[in-house]
Structure formats: C-alpha cells, structure tokens
C-alpha cells in the first residue's frame, strides 16, 4: 500500500509545478478526510481500526488526482464520505467493495456538483521555466481540458489550443496541460506504474489491454475526427494512463485470473472510447472502470482453472 502511495507522490509534486500550491491543499484535505472517515466508519461498525495500512491514504490521493485543481476543498470531504463509508464500509469493508472507492467518490461529485467538476480547470502556470529548459512550448493554453476541446469543438480547435507536432506531444507527455490534479504527467504515471509491475505488486495485463484497446479503436475510428486516428494522442489525453495503472488494477475490484484481466481491460478500453465518442461527458475512463468492476467475478468464473483430483477410493 505504501509503495503505491510513494509512486503517486511524484505526479503530485508535478501538479504543484503545473497548477500551483492549491493542488497540494486539495490532496491533503482529501487524504485526511478519507483517513478520518475510515477510522470513524470502523469505530461505528465495531471493526478494528486499520488506518495504518495505507488503503485510505491511497483512496484519498487517487480521489484528489481525478478532480479539477480549481474546486473548493469542501468537495473532497464530501466525496470521502461516499468513497469510504458508503462505497467501502457499508459493503463490508476492505476486500468486500465491488466498486473502486476513489472513482465512486468522483462519480458522486460529477452528479452532485456538475458545474464545478466540469469547469474548475486551471491553465498551466505561465512562467514555464522548466518547460523552456526542456524545449517545450508554453504559449497560452485554453483552460478547457484537451478532451473537452476535442469533444465540443473538434480537432481544428484542439490543434489551435494545444498546438501540433513534437512540442504538443512533449507537453502532454510531461504534463504541461490542463486536466485533473494527478492525470497530467504521463511520464511520471508511467514510471510509477512500471515500478509497481517490476516489483510484482501488479501485472501488465490490465494496463496493456486497456491502452492497447484504446489505441486500436482510436486508429479504427480516426476517420470520424477522433484525434484524427492518432492513438498516442488519445492515450496521453485525459486520465487513461492513471486509470489503467492505478485505478483499474485495484486489488479488490479487478479480476485475479490473467486471462480475465485481459478481457476486463479490453472492456474498459472499449467503453472508454465509446463514452468519449458518443457520451455527453468528454472523459470515459472513470465510468468505464466502474461499469466493469461488478463483472470481475464473472470474468474469473469464465476462466476458472480446471482442477484435477484422483477419484475417491484410489484406483477403484
């Protein structure tokens, strides 16, 4: 648990450089709220208080990572109640929840505070010293997220707002673009996810199947103007990488069988592209994961390994 927390710290630090110190405040409020609700829930339900295991801290960080940097600090407090008390402990506690708690909290905020959750975006800080040193463009950028610009105005407006060519890819890869607090830096998210795979805390099956499906479907539907068929740009935009490496492979809510994980990831990737294309909301990874969470036991049942045992009574 604490290794996952450590892997989430570099993207958090990057968010402070991109959006300002308020991202640190929102994340701190979110983590403290989740830990407090965890302790209060376990106390009320007569269970052992386990706030030292780090699970509530992870939920708090991931919850902060998937909300806009300009929201009121009150929002993560309300989301913590939904994520921890209702989404986790009412269902039996850790190990029994069938929805990802952080994403459930985010979905609650989108439903109850739709204006704040779809408009409280901040542009990257305009001093740009770090990015100029790296050779990336830091011209004025729309405060709308890349996915929102693509959804509402099309590819022409997207390139006008965020540029094109190598500088745009570099901005997106390093994280110098509008977005949620923790989803901007593809580089740091990727490094954290690969470290978890290297240490054996998770496997490649879910993130690779999600991102591969998104890339393939983006290439197929490119003629409809969806990132002009650019798979890399579609994967770098929004919360695809954060969802693939840190949300979809949550130990409790994802399948355990490797074949099941691949099917699960394909479903998440396909739903993400479908929601982005046809849904009313620009991002799709949150709802795609939540829709697939309850199907995890079904997929494990499909690919249940065959077990062989000798007949009762030996050779008789």
What share of the chain in percent tops pLDDT 70?
90
113 & 191 share domain: no
Q: Which domain holds residue 223?
A: 185-301
Residue 147 lies in a domain: no
61: in domain: yes
Q: Mean pLDDT for the chain?
A: 85
Residues in the chain: 316
What is the per-residue pLDDT across 103-133, written as a single tens digit (0 to 9) for each? 999 999 999 999 989 888 887 875 444 444 4
Residue after which a domain boundary falls, among 94, 119, 144: 119
Higher per-residue confidence, 299 vs 32: 32
On whether residue 256 sits in a domain, the answer given is: yes
Contacting residues for 196 by C-beta, under 8 A, at least 6 apart: 3, 4, 7, 202, 245
Mean pLDDT of 219-233: 77
Q: Give the mean pLDDT of 164-182.
A: 83
Report the pLDDT value the prediction gives residue 86, as an integer from 0 to 100: 92
Residues 93, 192 share a domain? no
Predicted pLDDT at 35: 96
Examine the pLDDT at 134 and tell me if it is beyond 60: no
Residue 61, CB-side half-sphere exposure with 13 Å CA sphere: 23
Q: Region 73-82: what's the mean pLDDT?
A: 95
In this predicted structure, the answer to whether residue 271 has a pLDDT above a threshold of 50 is yes
Among candidate residues 119, 141, 159, the one where a domain is terminated: 119
Q: Examine the domain organization and report whether 16 and 99 are in the same domain.
A: yes
Write down the pLDDT at residue 129: 40
Closest CA to 134 of 182, 156, 107, 167: 167
- Which of 97, 119, 141 marks a domain boundary? 119
| DSSP symbol at 311 | P
Which of 85-94, 206-215, 263-272 is the least confident region? 85-94
Closest to 230 in 3D by CA, of 170, 165, 274, 141: 165
Mean pLDDT is lowest, of 30-39, 109-118, 127-136, 158-167, for 127-136
pLDDT of 308 above 80: no
Residues 99 and 197 in one domain: no
15 and 97 together in one domain = yes
Question: For the purposes of burial, counting CB atoms within 10 Å of the CB of 156, is it exposed (0-12), middle (13-18) or buried (19 or more)?
Answer: exposed
* CB-CB neighbours of 224 under 10 Å: 10
Is residue 140 included in any domain, yes or no? no
Assessment of whether the complete model's pTM goes beyond 0.75 = yes
Distance CA 158, CA 306 (A): 51
Task: With respect to residue 219, please indicate whether it lies within any of the assigned structural domains.
Answer: yes
Q: Quick check: is 228 in a domain?
A: yes
In a domain, 311, yes or no: no
Element (H, E) at 211: helix 205-220
pLDDT value of position 313: 61
Q: What is the predicted pLDDT for the residue at 245?
A: 94
Residue at 178 is within a domain:
no
Overall number of domains in the chain: 2
Q: Which pair of tokens denotes residue 70?
A: 């300009």
Question: How many Cβ atoms from other residues are within 10 Å of residue 160's Cβ?
Answer: 12
């Amino acid at each position: 648990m604490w290794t996952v927390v450590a892997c989430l710290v570099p993207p958090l630090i990057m968010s402070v450089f991109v959006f300002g110190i308020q991202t640190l405040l929102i994340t701190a409020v979110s983590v403290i709220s989740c830990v407090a609700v965890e302790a209060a829930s376990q106390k009320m339900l007569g269970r052992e208080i386990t706030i030292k295991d780090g699970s509530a801290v992870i939920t708090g960080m991931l919850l902060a990572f998937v909300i806009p940097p300009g929201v009121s600090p009150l929002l993560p407090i309300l989301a913590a109640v939904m994520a921890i008390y209702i989404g986790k402990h009412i269902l039996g506690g850790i190990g029994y929840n069938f929805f990802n708690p952080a994403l459930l909290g985010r979905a609650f905020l989108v439903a109850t505070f739709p204006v704040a959750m779809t408009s409280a975006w901040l542009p990257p800080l305009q001093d740009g010293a770090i990015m100029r040193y790296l050779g990336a463009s830091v011209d004025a950028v729309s405060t709308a997220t890349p996915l929102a610009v693509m959804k509402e105005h099309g590819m022409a407006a997207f390139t006008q707002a965020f540029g094109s060519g190598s500088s745009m890819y570099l901005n997106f890869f390093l994280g110098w673009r509008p977005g949620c607090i923790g989803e901007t830096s593809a580089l740091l998210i990727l490094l954290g996810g690969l470290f978890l795979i290297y240490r054996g805390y998770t496997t490649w099956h879910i993130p690779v199947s999600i991102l591969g499906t998104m890339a393939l479907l983006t290439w197929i539907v490119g003629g409809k103007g969806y990132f002009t068929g650019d798979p890399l740009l579609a994967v770098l935009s929004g919360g695809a990488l954060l969802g693939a490496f840190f949300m979809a492979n949550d130990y409790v809510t994802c399948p355990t069988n490797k074949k099941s994980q691949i099917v699960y990831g394909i479903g998440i990737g396909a739903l993400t592209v479908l929601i982005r294309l046809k849904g009313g909301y620009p991002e799709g990874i949150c709802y795609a994961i939540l829709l697939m969470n309850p199907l995890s036991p079904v997929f494990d049942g499909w690919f249940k390994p065959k077990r062989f045992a000798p007949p009762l009574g030996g050779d008789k």
